[in-house]
Amino acid sequence: MTRLTYDYLVLATGTTHAYFGHPDWASRAPGLKTLDDALEIRRRVLLAFEAAEREAEPSEQRRLLTFVIVGGGPTGVELAGALAEIARRTLRQDFRAIRPESARIVLLEGGPDLISAFPTSLRAAARRSLEELGVEVLTRSVVIDVDARGVSWRSADAASGGAAQRIDAQTILWAAGVAASPLARSLAVPLDAAGRVLAEPTLQVPGQPNIFVVGDLCALQQDGRWLPGVAQVAKQSGAHVARNIRRVIAGRPLTSFRYRDYGNMATVGRGSAVADIAGVRASGPVAWLIWLFIYIFWLIGFRNRLAVLSELAWAYVTFQRRVRLITGAPACRP
């Protein structure tokens, strides 16, 4: 085992998927955190359509063409919208025996609303946009089991009696929750209930002045509320820690971190989004243009901005997506 020494250490290992005490669900319902996760999701989605094309039994074909997304946060909403666009437009002319646009896409959310961090009007707008794309949105629906053939769920409404219901599906995608990186539990540091490091206002680990924590692994309250696990917090806390380390080296006192919330955005399919920025709320095409501008603006380098903009423009005009490679181990294919 190699032992490393350091002057200052920054913990920034983020979070992983939370399956609420059911780690066996992970192999059946992958989440979206890394590039590898995205490639795995693409593989499963494309293979489901390919398998349905070869399937002669109607009931099994319907199961293969059923896609379930668990979790109605920004990730789940964007996944559902993207899947609907792919099925109804991108793959529409690519098969002979099936109609990809007939695919059933179901979004299960345990709470009463989608994207609960957004204002009520934008939550309703996001739901309308998904339903216009043909996505079935089921709120107050708590998943109780995930297996190789589908999902079992129970309604949280008292009027329903809480009877278990079933959706047979080949492809299940997880966007229901996160848990702190296992690294935190291996350290002798104070943690919150989610396994995140309880940081000092300076973003130092209590009792460890040379160790800092940033991003989703950091648990810090501001104005009586816990900071959200979003990219804005991660970027700002990382920059603040860099400044504090420079202050330590220069022999100057450290400063407390202050998060500035610039707003939230989420895309909901082609040309549709919701945005809540500095008190300005928008939905539909206007919000999508705002999202596009900010997304391009924050990319690093002119070449990257130009490449991404041209890719998005091509996809928008042609309804196509350039990359449809099916990668991964053959043993994992349906």
Instruction: Measure the CA–CA gap between 110 and 154, rounded to whole angstroms.
Output: 9
Which amino acid type is present at position 330? Answer: P
Q: Where are the domains of the chain?
A: 15-179, 265-318
3-class secondary structure per residue, 268-304: CCCCCEEEEECCEEEEEHHHHHHHHHHHHHCCCCHHH
Active site residue 60: no
Apex 203 CA angle, 11 and 200, nearest 5: 120
Instruction: Measure the CA–CA gap between 217 and 220, rounded to whole angstroms.
Output: 10
| Interior/surface letters 277-287, b for 16+ CB within 10 angstroms, e for the rest | beeebbbbeeb
Nearest to 150 by CA among 84, 65, 78, 76: 65
Do residues 82 and 269 touch, judged by C-beta distance below 8 A?
yes
Q: Which fold has domain 15-179?
A: FAD/NAD(P)-binding domain (3.50.50)
3-state class percentages of the chain: helix first, strand second, coil last, to nearest 5: 35, 25, 40
What pLDDT, on the 0 to 100 scale, is given for residue 334? 44
| pLDDT tens track, the chain, 334 positions | 678 889 999 999 988 888 988 989 999 999 998 888 999 999 999 999 999 999 999 999 999 999 999 999 999 999 999 999 999 988 888 899 999 999 999 999 999 999 998 999 999 999 999 999 999 999 999 999 999 999 999 988 755 567 889 999 999 999 998 888 888 888 888 998 888 999 999 999 999 999 999 999 999 999 999 998 888 999 999 999 999 999 999 999 999 999 998 888 999 988 899 999 888 899 999 999 998 898 888 888 888 899 888 888 877 777 676 667 777 765 444 4
Can you give the pTM of this predicted structure?
Answer: 0.86
Q: Kindly name the residue from 78, 85, 109, 136 that is annotated as catalytic.
A: 78
Do residues 327 and 43 touch, judged by C-beta distance below 8 A?
yes
- For residue 67, give the H/E element and its range: strand 66-70
CA 176 to chain centroid, in Å, comes to 9
CA 241 to chain centroid, in Å, comes to 26
Instruction: Measure the CA–CA gap between 94 and 107, rounded to whole angstroms.
Output: 25
Nearest to 133 by CA among 110, 96, 162, 103: 103
Which amino acid type is present at position 251? Answer: G
**Residue position matching structure tokens 């529409």:** 92
Given its phi and psi angles, is residue 140 left (phi above 0), alpha (psi -120 to 50 degrees) or beta?
left
Phi, psi angle pair for 95, to nearest 5°: -130, 155
- The answer for residues whose C-beta is within 8 angstroms of residue 90's C-beta and 6 or more apart is 319, 320, 321
Q: For helices 74-85 and 120-132, give the axis angle rounded to 10 degrees.
A: 20
Do residues 215 and 237 touch, judged by C-beta distance below 8 A?
yes
CA 145 to chain centroid, in Å, comes to 21
Phi, psi angle pair for 16, to nearest 5°: -130, 180
